[in-house]
Structure 1
Amino acid sequence: MTEVHGDESLAAEVRELVGDRHPVLVAATVTPDGSRLAGLGASLDADMELGSISKGITGLLYADALERGELTPSTTLGELLPLADTPAAGVTLAPITTHRSGLPSLPPAAAPLRRTISLWRTGANPYGESREDLIVQARGVQLKRPTARYSNLGFELLGHAIASAAGTSYADLLHRRVSEPLGLEAFYAPATLDQLQPGALIGTSRSGRTRQPWTGEAFGPAGGIRGSIRDLARLAAALLLDGSAPGVAALDPVADFSGRTRIGAAWITLDHNGWPVTWHNGGTGGFRTWLGLDRTAGTAVALMSATSISVDHHGFNLLAQHTAKAAR
């Protein structure tokens, strides 16, 4: 039988919702009445990969840097990073936040196809570059037409540019402006395997094969943050209930994105069964995550699975259920 931690009624609700495909899964709900947390096969402090929810955190740091006057929407990457006289140097920050910069998903120099094949075959981390490696790769990038195009490279460069404007590294900026003030105890961006905290969980593929942790200094702002479900619950409460999170304006949609969705600084907003949901998901070699907020009702749901099977559908449904309860 799967070991249960935290709120047993939430654990039962989540298990009924997701079935048996996620043997290691943690969940949180946040409402104006408080937070509930549950773990199935993992503790509430289990250290897991957030994947692209990291982009949402970088969006918060961007909005916070704007408020501090450290940069502007029209600041270019070349003003903050040593990109020399290259196409990437002229890209301004604002369109990166809405995936309209013209930057590709990944730089060709990173050999993304070869790395993807290696991930499939051996479970190897497809990232791992240093900040300096990232700069070298970005210098060789040619821009595409600036339409809505999801870009990991864009958010890697954005995060390191924000950190440069603050005179520090991305990992340190994350600690000083998010983790420390909000009391997020396992919320960090490891550059190497030896920077993983003791007890950090290792994820698995859909078939149960172990996947190497996705660490990398360059990758941190786009997908390399780790955290616990307790951390995500505290972050959601800080965004929704007391406004203590930095850069809350990042949640506000400013442009159309895809289909009927709109986007702020990374955060996507859509109508789900009559409820407005602001959300981001994440996926790595061994993890899937989802964080969704109903800003009108003041409710949120977070799901983190140590198996690379999507939890998006379950997250939307669980949030709809708890939003409906809060509205009664």
Structure 2
Amino acid sequence: MRKPPVIALVAGIVAGLAGLGVMPREPRLTAQTTGDANLAAEVRAAVADPGGYRGLSVALIDGGQVRTAGLGDRDRDGNPVEADTPFEIGSVPKVLTGMLLAHQASAGAVRPDDTLGATWPEVTGPAHEVTLAELASHRTGLPRVPLGSVRDWVRVLWANFAAGNPYAGQDVDRVRAATDDHRPGDDRGRVGYSNLGMALLGQALAANAGTGYPELLDRELLTPLGMTATVQVTDPDAVPAGRAEGARSSGRTPDPWIGAGYAPAGIGYWSTAADLARLVSATAAGTAPGVDAREPRFDDTERTRIGYGWFTTRYGDREITWHNGATSGFHSYIGFDRATGNGVVVLGNTDKGVEPIGLRLLGVPREQAGTASPALPTWAGAGIALLFTFIGGLSLLGTVLRPTLDRLTALAAAVWALVYPALGHQLGDWSAVPGWLWPVGLAASGAGLALAVHRWRELPVNGATVPWRRVASVTASSAAAVALTAALLS
């Protein structure tokens, strides 16, 4: 009979070699190009590192002319990105909501100093006293998202873990009800980014107009601007045809973010680079409805001021008016230089930021444009990848090498030796950690599983002094493993 070290070594090598075929690979921008070849070359020059991107759709407005280009792949099948490829655009529609306020104010339908409660009488909670201008400029002191209950925390944490939709079930009534539980904070009057605040603004404007937010937006802004490709998705099965497929740094495809109540904050909206170029062109030229929203009114930082939705930031001798967006698997950036009238749209289908690309295309030097920020701090994403990849296998090895062991304990450790690497594969930042380390972790799990099988016949079923406690512990551990596995596979 083979000795345990030989068994462990052989099993580890087999598991490691098998893991090479499925090891995590970060998305990477391919050489595929559509549209304007010169613009595509400019974009590639602006990309500091192609790792972490899969596809980019770009529009550049220069001298009143719009050029578009697609780079890389829109999905796992390698289909090309084009100017009319729909992307999830995250928070970009916040500028549209700010422009709705400016447009409605110019028509005399509302005043920026009107309160939320006066505009939307159904709002009777503590936040009814904030003004529309405060909502549009993120100066209400309201939280980014309402997390007033254990249920809210669990929903958001689970969605982040499972690459799900953190806004599921957040309809207009839920947004309004959030004002019952949240009052303006002590930092009211200072800029503090709030999805809740922008959602309340858009829904209040719609209620005041006697219609829904999507209908109001279409009528007042999208239709006049000719933005026929900017659409709200209210059902996961109704995402646009030919769309880009989002991805995390692990390569995992997340669910689209959908929540009708948060539509004014950008949740559920998809668009194309060509369509958003119409918005940027008209706003830069001063011809868009509600264009007054672009005017900087309040200080955010030393270099940045905010209007109604639009931010304006100084980079040396340039001032760029902009907004960005991010969901679990997409990033977006729109911006323009008021002095030159030049503008840009950059859409990406991963969780790596695209802001530096847009700034470089607008002429901002690389050292001022900065680098793309990962979804998680690099140390956190790398730590998750390494911890989960190795902890299961090493823990199992430590368990099966104990002189005293029972089958229940070995079984629980064996289950986690499989679940933990799966977690590392799906949740880790594999742009920060070499992907070949994952098969090494799987090799440790394989070695531990082989030793557990080798010892199985000699082990008692339950060797605990208090047997029922061992049974309860293993049952709870296995249930947690099943739940996490289900989340990864959902």
TM-score by length of 2: 0.63
Change (3 A) 1:9 1:72: same
1:62-101 to 2 correspondences below 5 Å: 62-101=101-140
Q: Deviations over 1:114-171 (max 9, x none)?
A: 3342233211010131111211222221220202211110000001111122221111
Change (3 A) 1:112 1:4: farther
Q: CA RMSD in A?
A: 1.8
Which residue in 2 is equivalent to 1:227? 271
Match of 2:171 among 114, 130, 133: 130
Q: Deviations over 1:186-217 (max 9, x none)?
A: 11222332443323333111222101011111
CA displacement at 1:33 relative to structure 2? 4.3
Three-state SS of the structure 2 residue aligned to 1:56 is helix
Q: Which has the higher contact order (CA 8 A, sep 6+)?
A: 1
1:46 has 2:85 as partner? yes
- Following the alignment from structure 1 to structure 2, what is the Cα–Cα distance between the partners of residues 88 and 98? 15
- Following the alignment from structure 2 to structure 1, what is the Cα–Cα distance between the partners of residues 114 and 233? 27
- Following the alignment from structure 1 to structure 2, what is the Cα–Cα distance between the partners of residues 156 and 84? 13
Q: Kindly name which structure, 1 or 2, has the bigger radius of gyration based on alpha carbons.
A: 2
CA displacement at 1:263 relative to structure 2? 0.7
Deviates further, 60-69 or 84-93: 84-93
Tell me if the contact between 1:107 and 1:138 (Cα under 8 Å) persists in the aligned partners.
Answer: no
Q: Deviations over 1:18-51 (max 9, x none)?
A: 2423121111110224111001131211111111
Which residue in 1 is equivalent to 2:37? 8
1:83-162 to 2 correspondences below 5 Å: 83-109=122-148, 113-128=153-168, 129-145=170-186, 146=188, 147-162=190-205
Identity over the aligned pairs, expressed in percent? 37
One-letter amino acid of the structure 1 residue matched with residue 337 of structure 2: D
One-letter amino acid of the structure 2 residue matched with residue 69 of structure 1: G
Match of 1:189 among 211, 232, 247: 232
One-letter amino acid of the structure 2 residue matched with residue 67 of structure 1: S
Which residue in 2 is equivalent to 1:37? 68
- Residues paired across the two proteins, number: 321
Deviates further, 271-280 or 2-11: 2-11
Q: Which blocks of at least 5 consecutive residues in structure 1 are unaligned? A: 323-328
Three-state SS of the structure 2 residue aligned to 1:63 is helix
Tell me if the contact between 1:74 and 1:94 (Cα under 8 Å) persists in the aligned partners.
Answer: yes
Which residue in 1 is equivalent to 2:485? none
Three-state SS of the structure 1 residue aligned to 2:276 is helix
- Following the alignment from structure 1 to structure 2, what is the Cα–Cα distance between the partners of residues 244 and 79? 30
Which has the larger helix fraction? 2
Three-state SS of the structure 2 residue aligned to 1:303 is strand
- Following the alignment from structure 2 to structure 1, what is the Cα–Cα distance between the partners of residues 308 and 224? 21
- Following the alignment from structure 1 to structure 2, what is the Cα–Cα distance between the partners of residues 105 and 33? 36
Deviates further, 107-116 or 134-143: 107-116
CA displacement at 1:16 relative to structure 2? 2.8
- Following the alignment from structure 1 to structure 2, what is the Cα–Cα distance between the partners of residues 315 and 219? 26
- Following the alignment from structure 2 to structure 1, what is the Cα–Cα distance between the partners of residues 34 and 225? 23
Match of 2:345 among 277, 298, 302: 302
One-letter amino acid of the structure 1 residue matched with residue 113 of structure 2: S
Which has the larger strand fraction? 1
Tell me if the contact between 1:174 and 1:188 (Cα under 8 Å) persists in the aligned partners.
Answer: no
1:193-204 to 2 correspondences below 5 Å: 193-204=236-247
Three-state SS of the structure 2 residue aligned to 1:165 is helix
Three-state SS of the structure 2 residue aligned to 1:108 is coil
- Following the alignment from structure 1 to structure 2, what is the Cα–Cα distance between the partners of residues 166 and 300? 32
Which residue in 2 is equivalent to 1:291? 334
CA displacement at 1:299 relative to structure 2? 0.4
Which residue in 2 is equivalent to 1:326? none
Which residue in 2 is equivalent to 1:275? 318
- Following the alignment from structure 2 to structure 1, what is the Cα–Cα distance between the partners of residues 106 and 181? 32
1:240 has 2:284 as partner? yes
Tell me if the contact between 1:27 and 1:39 (Cα under 8 Å) persists in the aligned partners.
Answer: yes
Show structure 1 runs of 4+ deviating over 4 A: none
Three-state SS of the structure 2 residue aligned to 1:115 is helix
- Following the alignment from structure 2 to structure 1, what is the Cα–Cα distance between the partners of residues 316 and 341? 17
CA displacement at 1:100 relative to structure 2? 0.9
- Following the alignment from structure 1 to structure 2, what is the Cα–Cα distance between the partners of residues 96 and 4? 41
Q: Deviations over 1:276-305 (max 9, x none)?
A: 111111111111111111011010111000
Three-state SS of the structure 1 residue aligned to 2:43 is helix
One-letter amino acid of the structure 2 residue matched with residue 127 of structure 1: Y
Change (3 A) 1:126 1:138: same
TM-score by length of 1: 0.92
CA displacement at 1:3 relative to structure 2? 3.0
1:307-322 to 2 correspondences below 5 Å: 307-320=350-363
